[in-house]
Structure formats: structure tokens, C-alpha cells
């Protein structure tokens, strides 16, 4: 058989949400295979299956062990992989499905947020060499101790990138949007599609809440030097976004705006508590976001660290912090408090060299002040400026409203009309 190119395609949950959609994906895969390519197809769980499984777990136990959660959640992807392989057989395409473990995806042992350590894709390669389409259950791997792990919410993207790197293949991520936009198009109507952006920009956007691509997946692609094509299921390739090493700098310095609605925080007014707080998160395999800490005043360090205006906060990304509230209720380290975060969100401006001109930060603070938006904190990196805002879901200060405000002021469209 002709083997012009190896392509890894990934289809997200909304693309395989029901049987009709799985059949449509099978047709799309067949069309590509018929062009003579070797295809490895990664799938997510159908629709909202992962959320439903998490709800089941919450009903059966107050504190489901994370290992058992991983055993449960991986079944979602396993079901859609088997169904897609069957649908491919049905249209005359020889296909075989694999779990992450069968495909040789080796991870560390951190349940619900495992890192891919290496890929041993021998079985996948053998099947591709035999002319089969390989369908892979996304979002999962196996540790050296043979424990089943998951890669964090949105982790099927990581499976696709890891396989693409291991197979030296192109990587296409299909979802319900035709690429990466300057902001979530469901929230910011003026957003437009981005043609090309760098891995660093995409990683910052993803970590700041643009879930169209997973941050760990982008980090992996950057390390391996591979491009990611973000595309819409059912549309011809070529109409999406490419994430790659070089991309023209954004007009005006801001590539896009991302937001997150909920943030959990671990808070203390004593910097000496920080090591115990970090140990606590590690012991419970909880994800750790940015750490914000300061100690004011003069005098000996010990006294300043414990002064009442010293403050330490660890932001905890909520999507993989299963059971965080309960774990905190029972085991929180002395001197630390759990902050539910239902009322706090984060809005980030992202772009290469965003702080080259400090007036951007000054202007955005003036704009937020003029709109009476309560800014709770600011954090910056060379690619990102993040505002922690009080999330009043109805009012002008809602996280979405702040995203729209900052987008209108700072994102300059690459092209006039939305796609
Ligand atoms: P999948 O289930 O296919 O993995 P996701 O739901 O994870 O897809 O990601 C696609 C969704 O990401 C879109 O429906 C969109 O609402 C949201 N999204 C958030 N930020 C962005 C952005 N900057 N560009 C495009 N989509 C975005
Ligand atoms: N099914 C998993 C999730 O909902 C993984 C994925 O979709 O990538 O997060
Ligand atoms: Mg996703």
C-alpha cells in the first residue's frame, strides 16, 4: 500500500458524541486513508461521558480514590475507540483499537494528571505497517508499575501529540471550532480565528483557559518540535490554525484573551507555611498553579514572613483537582485556609513580548478601574498578563464581560471579517 505520510488525527468528545457523529468521523477517516496515508486516530470519550462518570463516582463515595477514578474515567475513551473501530470496519476499513497502555504510552504515577514519560509505539507501528487504521483511546497511559493513569482534563490532545512525536507524523486536532480564535467565540462574539501562533503563546492561552488545545499537549509539541493543526471536524483541512515554531508577531502585541471562571486557592498569612502547603498538594497529588507570595515591611525575615500583611496563595486549577474541597476540609495544613474560589476568575492577555511596552499593563488597569472592575491580583510572565477578578456572574465584573472588554480594547483583528 502507498504510505505517503503518517497522520495522527484526534477527535474530541463533541465530535464523537453519538453514533451518527461516530459514523461521520469514520467517513472522514476513510476519505483520508483512501488518499494513501497511514492513519492513527485518537478519540475522546463520547460527549459529556467523563463528567457523567465523575458524577457517578461522587454518588458512590465521598472520597473516591484517584486510582479508581482513573480506572473509571479511562473506560469512556475505551468505549469510543472500540465503537469507531467498529464503524470503520462497517465501511470497509481495516481498523484496530488500542488502550493507551497497549499503545505504549508510559507515564509517571500521578493519577488524574499524569505526565507522559515515553512512548513505545511498537504495536501501533506494526498495525500501521500492516495497512490498518489504528484507533487509540485518548487521555490515558500506564505507569512503570502498570497502573492505569489519566493525563488531566483535555488530555486526549496530549495522547495525539505524543503519538505524532513518536511516529514522526503530522498532528491534526479536530473539535467543534475551526481552530484557535483570539478568544472563546462562545463568550467573545468579536473574536476571530488566528492563522498561526507560536507554541509558547498557545501554551499560555491554554493554561489560562482556552481549552481548544490542552496546555500539556502544546508543551510536548514544543519540546519535540512538531506543529499542531487545530481543525474543525467535517471541514476540509487547511481552514484552521497552525501552532508552530515561528509565527508573525500579533498586531499590537496581544494574540488573544483567555479566561477561567473558577479558581480554587490555598491561602495563608504566613510565608513560613508555604513548604507545608506545597507538601500537602503533592501528597494528595493535587495540581499546583501559580504561587503568589509577598512579605511586607522591614526587619528580620522571620518577623516579616509572619507579619499580618504577609500573604501566600497557591492557585489550584479546578478541573483536575478532584475532591479538593473535601481533602482540604479534612487535612488542610495548620495556618492555611481553603478559598472556594466560586467568586474569583482569571482573565489573561497573551502575546509574545506582551510586556515590552509597559503601557499595555497600565492601560488595561486604567480601563478596568474605569469600568469599576474589582481586580484582586495581577500576575505576569513574558507572554502573559493575568488579572484575578471578582466574578460577579451577572454584572459588568463577570469573567466573560472582562474578557470582552479587554478583547475589544487590545486585540487587533488579523482579518476584518469572522470566518
Ligand atoms: P474537544 O471536546 O473536541 O476536545 P473542547 O471542548 O475541549 O473540544 O474545545 C473546544 C472548545 O473550546 C470550543 O467549543 C470553544 O468554546 C472553546 N474555546 C475556548 N477558548 C477558545 C479559543 N481561544 N479558540 C477556540 N475555541 C476556544
Ligand atoms: N475525556 C477527557 C475529558 O473530558 C479527555 C479529553 O476529552 O481530552 O477531559
Ligand atoms: Mg478538549
Query: Cβ(391)–Cβ(401) under 8 Å?
Result: no
Q: What pLDDT score does 116 carry? A: 96
Q: What pLDDT score does 418 carry? A: 46
Protein residue closest via CA to atom 5 of ligand 1: 212
Please give the C-alpha separations between residue 71 and each of 64, 158, 239, in angstroms, as whole numbers: 11, 18, 37
Q: What pLDDT score does 71 carry? A: 98
Would 209 be classed as within a structural domain? no
Among 171, 173, 177, say which to mutate for ligand 1: greatest number of ligand atoms within 8 Å of CB: 177
Q: Which atom of ligand 2 is nearest to the CA of 139?
A: 5
Ligand found nearest the CA of 113:
2
Q: Which atom of ligand 2 is nearest to the CA of 153?
A: 9
Q: Which domain holds residue 403?
A: 256-410
Give the helix/strand (H/E) hosting 291: strand 291-294
Q: Are residues 278 and 135 in the same domain?
A: no
Q: How far apart are CA 391 and CA 404, in angstroms?
A: 14
The ligand 2 site (C-beta within 6 Å) comprises 12-13, 44-45, 50, 76, 138-139, 153-157
Would 419 be classed as within a structural domain? no
User: What domain count does the chain have?
Assistant: 2
Helix axes 199-207, 215-224, angle to 10 degrees: 160
Protein residue closest via CA to atom 11 of ligand 1: 212
Strand 140-143 relative to strand 148-150, pairing: antiparallel
Q: Which atom of ligand 2 is nearest to the CA of 156?
A: 8
Q: Say yes or no: CB of residue 44 within 6 Å of ligand 1.
A: yes
Would 233 be classed as within a structural domain? no
Would 208 be classed as within a structural domain? no
Domain boundary among 156, 176, 196: 176
Consecutive 10-residue averages of pLDDT for the chain (419 residues): 79 98 97 96 98 96 92 98 98 98 97 95 98 98 98 97 96 96 96 96 95 95 96 84 93 92 85 92 85 78 74 83 84 87 83 90 95 87 89 69 95 60
Compute, in angstroms, the gap from residue 309 CA to the centroid of ligand 1: 39
Q: What pLDDT score does 212 carry? A: 96
CATH of the domain at 267: 3.30.2130.10
Would 192 be classed as within a structural domain? no
Compute, in angstroms, the gap from residue 159 CA to the centroid of ligand 3: 12
Q: Say yes or no: CB of residue 47 within 6 Å of ligand 1.
A: no
Q: Which atom of ligand 1 is nearest to the CA of 14?
A: 2
Compute, in angstroms, the gap from residue 14 CA to the centroid of ligand 3: 9
Beta bridge partners of 254: none
Ligand found nearest the CA of 53:
2
Compute, in angstroms, the gap from residue 310 CA to the centroid of ligand 1: 38
Q: Are residues 158 and 291 in the same domain?
A: no
Q: Are residues 130 and 264 in the same domain?
A: no
Would 67 be classed as within a structural domain? yes
Protein residues with C-beta less than 5 angstroms from the ion ligand 3: 12, 154
Compute, in angstroms, the gap from residue 259 CA to the centroid of ligand 1: 12
Q: What pLDDT score does 237 carry? A: 62
Q: Are residues 32 and 163 in the same domain?
A: yes
Residue 187 half-sphere exposure, CB side, CA atoms within 13 Å? 25
Compute, in angstroms, the gap from residue 396 CA to the centroid of ligand 3: 28
Query: Cβ(402)–Cβ(387) under 8 Å?
Result: yes
Among 139, 176, 320, say which to mutate for ligand 2: greatest number of ligand atoms within 8 Å of CB: 139
Q: How far apart are CA 339 and CA 267, in angstroms?
A: 7
Q: What pLDDT score does 1 carry? A: 46
User: CA Rg, the chain, in Å?
Assistant: 22
Helix axes 156-167, 122-129, angle to 10 degrees: 70
Would 215 be classed as within a structural domain? no
Q: What pLDDT score does 62 carry? A: 85
CATH of the domain at 90: 3.40.1160.10
Q: Are residues 33 and 150 in the same domain?
A: yes
Q: Which atom of ligand 1 is nearest to the CA of 157?
A: 4
Task: Report residue 147: phi and psi, to 5°.
Answer: -90, 140
Q: Are residues 289 and 163 in the same domain?
A: no
Would 136 be classed as within a structural domain? yes
Amino acid at each position: 500500500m502507498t504510505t505517503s505520510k503518517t497522520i495522527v488525527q484526534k477527535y474530541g468528545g463533541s465530535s464523537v458524541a453519538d453514533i451518527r457523529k461516530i459514523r461521520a468521523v469514520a467517513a472522514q477517516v476513510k476519505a483520508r486513508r483512501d488518499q494513501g496515508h497511514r492513519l492513527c486516530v485518537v478519540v475522546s470519550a463520547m460527549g459529556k461521558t467523563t463528567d457523567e462518570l465523575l458524577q457517578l463516582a461522587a454518588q458512590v463515595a465521598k472520597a473516591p480514590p484517584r486510582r479508581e477514578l482513573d480506572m473509571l474515567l479511562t473506560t469512556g475513551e475505551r468505549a469510543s475507540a472500540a465503537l469507531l473501530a467498529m464503524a470503520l470496519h462497517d465501511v470497509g476499513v481495516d481498523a484496530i483499537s488500542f488502550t493507551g497502555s497497549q499503545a505504549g504510552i508510559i507515564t509517571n504515577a500521578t493519577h488524574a494528571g499524569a505526565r507522559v514519560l515515553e512512548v513505545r509505539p511498537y504495536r501501533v507501528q506494526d498495525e500501521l505497517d500492516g495497512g490498518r487504521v489504528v484507533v487509540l483511546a485518548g487521555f490515558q497511559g500506564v505507569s512503570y508499575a502498570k497502573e492505569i493513569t489519566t493525563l488531566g482534563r483535555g488530555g486526549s490532545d496530549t495522547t495525539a501529540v505524543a503519538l505524532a512525536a513518536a511516529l514522526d507524523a503530522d498532528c491534526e486536532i479536530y473539535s467543534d471550532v475551526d481552530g484557535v480564535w483570539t478568544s472563546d467565540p462562545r463568550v467573545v462574539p468579536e473574536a476571530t480565528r488566528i492563522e498561526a501562533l507560536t507554541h509558547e503563546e498557545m501554551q499560555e492561552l491554554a493554561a489560562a483557559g482556552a481549552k481548544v488545545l490542552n496546555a500539556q499537549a502544546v508543551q510536548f509539541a514544543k519540546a519535540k518540535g512538531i506543529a499542531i493543526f487545530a481543525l474543525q471536524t467535517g471541514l476540509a483541512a487547511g481552514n484552521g490554525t497552525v501552532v508552530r515554531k515561528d509565527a508573525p508577531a500579533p498586531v499590537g502585541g496581544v494574540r488573544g484573551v483567555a479566561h477561567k471562571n473558577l479558581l480554587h486557592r490555598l491561602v495563608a498569612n504566613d510565608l513560613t507555611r508555604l513548604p507545608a502547603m506545597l507538601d500537602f498538594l503533592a501528597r494528595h497529588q493535587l495540581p499546583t498553579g501559580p504561587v503568589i507570595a509577598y512579605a511586607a515591611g522591614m526587619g528580620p525575615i522571620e518577623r516579616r514572613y509572619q507579619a499580618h500583611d504577609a500573604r501566600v496563595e497557591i492557585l489550584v486549577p479546578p478541573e483536575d483537582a478532584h475532591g479538593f474541597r473535601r481533602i482540604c476540609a479534612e487535612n488542610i495544613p495548620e495556618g492555611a485556609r481553603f478559598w472556594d474560589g466560586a467568586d474569583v476568575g482569571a482573565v489573561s492577555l497573551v502575546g509574545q513580548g506582551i510586556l515590552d511596552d509597559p503601557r499595555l499593563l497600565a492601560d488595561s488597569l486604567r480601563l478596568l478601574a474605569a469600568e469599576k472592575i474589582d481586580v484582586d491580583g495581577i500576575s505576569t510572565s513574558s507572554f502573559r498578563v493575568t488579572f484575578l477578578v471578582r466574578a460577579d456572574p451577572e454584572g459588568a465584573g463577570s469573567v466573560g464581560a472582562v474578557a470582552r472588554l479587554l478583547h475589544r480594547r487590545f486585540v487587533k483583528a488579523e482579518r476584518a471579517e469572522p470566518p
